[in-house]
Amino acid sequence: MEKKKDVTIYDLAQELGVSPSTVSRALNDHASIGKKTKKAVRKLAESKGYRPNTFASSLRTNQSNTIGVLVSWINRPFISSLISGIEKEARDKGYHVIISQSHDQSELETENLQALYDSRVSALIVSLAMETVDYRPFDLFRKHGIPVVFVDRVPVLQKIHKVHINNFKAAFDATEHLIAQGCRRIAHFGGARHQAIYEERRAGYIAALKKNNIEVDNTIILEAESLSLEEGTRLAEKVLDLPIPPDGIFCANDTAAVSAIHCAKVRGIKIPGELAIIGFNDDPICKIIEPPLSSIHHPAVEMGKAAVREVMSMLDTAPANADALNKEPSGGKTNLVLETHVVVRASSNRLGA
Amino acid sequence: MEKKKDVTIYDLAQELGVSPSTVSRALNDHASIGKKTKKAVRKLAESKGYRPNTFASSLRTNQSNTIGVLVSWINRPFISSLISGIEKEARDKGYHVIISQSHDQSELETENLQALYDSRVSALIVSLAMETVDYRPFDLFRKHGIPVVFVDRVPVLQKIHKVHINNFKAAFDATEHLIAQGCRRIAHFGGARHQAIYEERRAGYIAALKKNNIEVDNTIILEAESLSLEEGTRLAEKVLDLPIPPDGIFCANDTAAVSAIHCAKVRGIKIPGELAIIGFNDDPICKIIEPPLSSIHHPAVEMGKAAVREVMSMLDTAPANADALNKEPSGGKTNLVLETHVVVRASSNRLGA
DNA sequence: ATATTTTGCGCAATCGATTGCGCTTAGGGA
DNA sequence: TCCCTAAGCGCAATCGATTGCGCAAAATAT
Reported confidence tier of residue B336, pLDDT bands at 50, 70, 90: very high
DSSP calls for A273-318:
TT-EEE-SB--THHHHSSSPPBEEE--HHHHHHHHHHHHHHHHHHS
**Residue A317 confidence (pLDDT):** 76
Cα–Cα separations (whole angstroms), residue A184 to A33, A174, A217, A262, A293: 74, 14, 11, 22, 19
**Residue B322 confidence (pLDDT):** 38
Q: Given a cut of 70, is residue A306 above it in pLDDT?
A: yes
Q: Given a cut of 80, is residue A319 above it in pLDDT?
A: no
- A77-112 pLDDT per residue, tens: 999 999 999 999 999 999 999 999 999 999 999 999
- Cβ contacts of B313 within 8 Å, gap of 6 or more: none
Sketch out chain B's domains with CATH numbers.
Answer: 9-52 (1.10.260.40), 65-164+300-337 (3.40.50.2300), 167-298 (3.40.50.2300)
Q: Given a cut of 90, is residue B9 above it in pLDDT?
A: yes
**Residue B74 confidence (pLDDT):** 96
Nearest to A304 by CA among A119, A94, A103, A71: A71
The packing angle between helices A20-27 and A9-16, to 10°, is 110
Reported confidence tier of residue B225, pLDDT bands at 50, 70, 90: confident
Q: Given a cut of 90, is residue B83 above it in pLDDT?
A: yes
- A134-177 pLDDT per residue, tens: 999 999 998 888 999 999 999 988 889 999 999 999 999 999 99
Cα–Cα separations (whole angstroms), residue A42 to A36, A54, A314, B113: 10, 18, 31, 22
Given the DSSP bridges, would you call strands B295-297 and B341-343 parallel, antiparallel or unpaired? antiparallel
Nearest to A6 by CA among A37, A41, A70, A49: A49
SS (H, E, C) chain B: CCCCCCCCHHHHHHHHCCCHHHHHHHHCCCCCCCHHHHHHHHHHHHHCCCCCCHHHHHHHHCCCCEEEEEECCCCCHHHHHHHHHHHHHHHHCCCEEEEEECCCCHHHHHHHHHHHHHCCCCEEEECCCCCCCCCHHHHHHHHCCCCEEEECCCCCCCCCEEEEECHHHHHHHHHHHHHHCCCCCEEEEECCCCCHHHHHHHHHHHHHHHHCCCCCCHHHEEECCCCCHHHHHHHHHHHHCCCCCCCEEEECCHHHHHHHHHHHHHCCCCCCCCCEEECCECCCHHHHCCCCCEEEECCHHHHHHHHHHHHHHHHHHCCCCCCCCCCCCCCCCEEEEECCEEECCCCCCCCCC
Query: Greater confidence, A259 or A158?
Result: A259
Given the DSSP bridges, would you call strands A123-126 and A96-101 parallel, antiparallel or unpaired? unpaired
Q: Given a cut of 50, is residue B324 above it in pLDDT?
A: no
Residues of A in contact with B289 (CB under 8 A): 288-290
When mean pLDDT is compared across A119-133, A314-328, B78-92, the lowest value belongs to A314-328
**Residue B323 confidence (pLDDT):** 41
Pairwise CB contact (< 8 Å): A1 & B325: yes
Q: Given a cut of 50, is residue A64 above it in pLDDT?
A: yes
**Residue A93 confidence (pLDDT):** 94
Average pLDDT over residues A242-263: 96
Average pLDDT over residues A196-204: 95
CA–CA gap between residue B275 and residue B268 (Å, rounded): 11
Reported confidence tier of residue B5, pLDDT bands at 50, 70, 90: confident
DSSP letter (8 states) at residue A8: -
Nearest to A82 by CA among A150, A3, A172: A150
What proportion of chain A, given as a percentage, has pLDDT over 90?
Answer: 83
- B268-277 pLDDT per residue, tens: 999 999 999 9
DSSP letter (8 states) at residue A116: H
Q: How many degrees, rounded to 5, is the angle at CA B102 between CA B99 and CA B104? A: 140
Contact predicate B98/A65, CB 8 Å: no
DSSP letter (8 states) at residue A121: -
The interface residues of chain A toward chain B in range 185-244, judged by CB-CB distance below 8 A, are: none
- A18-34 pLDDT per residue, tens: 999 999 999 999 888 88
Residues of B in contact with A303 (CB under 8 A): none
**Residue A326 confidence (pLDDT):** 38
**Residue A24 confidence (pLDDT):** 95
Reported confidence tier of residue B143, pLDDT bands at 50, 70, 90: confident
**Residue A331 confidence (pLDDT):** 60
- Give phi and psi for A45, each to the nearest 5: -55, -45
Give how far A143 is from chain B: nearest CA, Å.
Answer: 7
Contact predicate B296/B340, CB 8 Å: yes
Does residue A151 sit in helix, strand or coil? strand
**Residue B349 confidence (pLDDT):** 94
**Residue B182 confidence (pLDDT):** 94
**Residue B318 confidence (pLDDT):** 58
What proportion of chain A, given as a percentage, has pLDDT over 70?
Answer: 95
**Chain B residues 58-97, Cβ below 7 A from strand D:** 59-61
- Taking residue A48's Cβ as centre, other Cβ atoms within 10 Å add up to 12
Average pLDDT over residues A192-196: 90
What proportion of chain B, given as a percentage, has pLDDT over 70?
Answer: 95
Average pLDDT over residues B221-237: 93
The whole-number Å distance from A55's CA to C15's C1' is: 9
Contact predicate B311/B67, CB 8 Å: yes
Beta bridge partners of B163: B151, B336
B159 vs A: CB within 8 A: no
The whole-number Å distance from B345's CA to D30's C1' is: 84
Q: Given a cut of 90, is residue B6 above it in pLDDT?
A: no
Give how far A40 is from chain B: nearest CA, Å.
Answer: 22
Average pLDDT over residues B165-192: 96
**Residue A143 confidence (pLDDT):** 87
Average pLDDT over residues A295-314: 95
Average pLDDT over residues A314-324: 59
The whole-number Å distance from A45's CA to C19's C1' is: 21
Beta bridge partners of B250: B188, B278
Overall size of chain B counted in residues: 353
**Residue B240 confidence (pLDDT):** 95
Q: How many CB pairs under 8 A join A and B?
A: 142
Before A272, cis peptide (omega within 30)?
yes
Reported confidence tier of residue B334, pLDDT bands at 50, 70, 90: confident
CA–CA gap between residue B83 and residue B85 (Å, rounded): 5
CA–CA gap between residue B301 and residue B152 (Å, rounded): 12
Which residue, counting CA atoms, is nearest to the C1' of nucleotide C10? B19
Does residue A215 sit in helix, strand or coil? coil
The chain-wide mean pLDDT, for chain B, equals: 91
Given the DSSP bridges, would you call strands A341-343 and A295-297 parallel, antiparallel or unpaired? antiparallel
- With 0-12 CB in 10 A as exposed, 13-18 as middle and 19+ as buried, what is B158? exposed
The interface residues of chain B toward chain A in range 125-144, judged by CB-CB distance below 8 A, are: 143-144
